[in-house]
Structure 1
Amino acid sequence: MKKVILGLSTLCLVAFTSCKNDNAAKKIEEANVTAAAVRDAVSSNFPVITFNETTHDFGEIEANKSVETVFSYTNTGDAPLVITNIATTCGCTVPQDWSREPLAVGETGKFTVKYNGSGKGKVSKSLTLTANTEKGKEVVKITAFVKTDDAAISAAIK
């Protein structure tokens, strides 16, 4: 019983001493509020990437014939644009030659996409750019109709 009373007394003592009348609003410094407002205003300025085309159609291509295209883009936003990565949906599509340096507002950039012609029939491949835009990810696509050589296919089967 003594332990229970001692435990309750300790709990009450801790509870009453931890409650203070300090108002949290009194601890806020005006300089910090001003700095946060400036930071928040600047953080709403994002780069905007504008492509000349977001889908490139290679048309009809021969099976296993490599083709390439160049995607051009412009930074039409309010801050420098940085592309950190370009990922593809498969290894048959390879992006290359993009700058990882900041692209100033109004400047243009480009990157090359090579497709090795694998697959058959209508194919569509997506490339996802990771950038410091508001969405964080931008997507461009390539499409093609891969013609298969029926004679080569029948010879391979025999």
Structure 2
Amino acid sequence: MKKLILIFALILGVGITVNAQTKPAEFKFDTEVHDFGKIALNKPVVYTFNFTNIGEAPLIISKVETTCGCTVGEYTKTPVKSGEKGFVKVTLTPSGAPLPFNKGITLTSNARTTTKVLIIKGEYVEGNTK
């Protein structure tokens, strides 16, 4: 019985050590917040959030969710290998009343931080902007 417990403990210890040495996928964004400033109503604007996978495993984005229908997210669909770059492109078509806005774009992935929120903000204004 003692031998069985010792063998089990040894196998468990080796398994934990091997797992601890592999670094899962992880995002490193150039920036996680973008301020559009003042943007005209009904004129789409686009911003691309760029990231690097600083983990050892390939990073896979499974879903990008926005907080409203006026925002659309596109993203790198293929796995991003360690050290390689990917993107999340956000297109915002402002509509409604001229008001400040602050919106979240939620990413779901296999990264160590499985859920990541990117922020876009600014102010909707009437007519042309400078």
Q: TM-score, normalised by structure 2?
A: 0.80
Higher strand proportion: 2
Structure 1 residue runs of 5 or longer lacking an equivalent are 1-22, 150-158
Instruction: Give the residue type in structure 2 aligned to 1:104.
Output: K
Aligned residue in 1 for 2:93 = 116
Structure 1, 110-119 or 121-130: larger mean CA deviation:
110-119
Q: Return the match for 1:37 from 13, 16, 19.
A: 16
The residue aligned with 1:154 is none
- One-letter amino acid of the counterpart of residue 101, structure 1: T
Is contact 2:26-2:113 (8 Å) kept?
Answer: no
Displacement of 1:28 in angstroms is 7.1
Structure 1 residues 139 and 26: alpha-carbon distance in aligned structure 2, compared to 1, 3 A threshold: same
Deviation at 1:33, TM superposition (A): 3.2
> Pairwise mapping of residues 142-157 of structure 1 onto structure 2 (< 5 A)?
142-148=120-126
Which residue matches 1:47? 25
Structure 2 runs not aligned, ≥5 long: none
Q: Does 1:129 align with 2:107?
A: yes
Q: Counterparts of 2:110 and 2:11 in 1: how far apart (Å)?
A: 26
Alignment map for 1:36-115 (pairs within 5 Å): 36-37=15-16, 40-42=19-21, 45-96=23-74, 98-115=75-92
Matched length: 125
Once the two structures are TM-superposed, the CA of residue 139 in structure 1 deviates from its matched residue by 1.1
Instruction: Find the structure with the greater CA-based Rg.
Output: 1
Does the Cα contact within 8 Å between 2:71 and 2:93 map onto a contact in 1?
A: yes
More helix by share: 1
Q: Tell me the percent identity.
A: 31
SS of the aligned residue for 1:33 comes to helix
The structural deviation recorded for 1:34 is 6.1
Q: Distance in 2 between matches of 1:29 and 1:60?
A: 66
Supply the RMSD in Å over aligned alpha carbons. Answer: 2.4
